[in-house]
């Protein structure tokens, strides 16, 4: 358990916030979601046949949302 007051925890988080959106880990996650989206696209016929269109559409929607959130997170960390 932290001994910091809530206000101190918030400030500490704010000071570290700039590290995450453009960090190597965040970049790797963006690359991984791009690769997953590409894999889903390439394997669409196979994956739809193994499940159904609705399930495939949901998976693709989740990947798309993740891509957008990661892009927004990175853009928010850019200077300017």
User: What pLDDT shows up at residue 58?
Assistant: 98
Query: Would 73 be classed as within a structural domain?
Result: yes
Query: Would 72 be classed as within a structural domain?
Result: yes
Range of the domain at 41: 29-80
pLDDT band at 38; cut points 50, 70, 90? very high
Residue 1 pLDDT greater than 90, yes or no? no
pLDDT band at 18; cut points 50, 70, 90? low
Query: Would 9 be classed as within a structural domain?
Result: no
Query: Would 48 be classed as within a structural domain?
Result: yes
Query: Would 44 be classed as within a structural domain?
Result: yes
Number of domains making up the chain: 1
User: What pLDDT shows up at residue 22?
Assistant: 85
User: What pLDDT shows up at residue 19?
Assistant: 61
pLDDT band at 78; cut points 50, 70, 90? confident
User: Is the pTM of the predicted complex or chain greater than 0.85?
Assistant: no
Query: Would 13 be classed as within a structural domain?
Result: no
Cα pseudo-dihedral 36, 42, 44, 49, rounded to 10: -110
């Amino acid at each position: 358990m932290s001994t910091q007051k809530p206000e101190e925890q918030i400030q500490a988080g704010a000071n570290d916030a700039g590290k995450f959106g453009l960090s190597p880990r965040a970049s790797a996650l963006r690359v991984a979601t791009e690769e997953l989206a590409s894999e889903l696209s390439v394997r669409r016929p196979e994956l739809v046949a193994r499940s159904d269109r609705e399930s495939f559409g949901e998976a693709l929607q989740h990947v798309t949302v993740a891509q957008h959130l990661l892009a927004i997170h990175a853009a928010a960390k850019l200077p300017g």
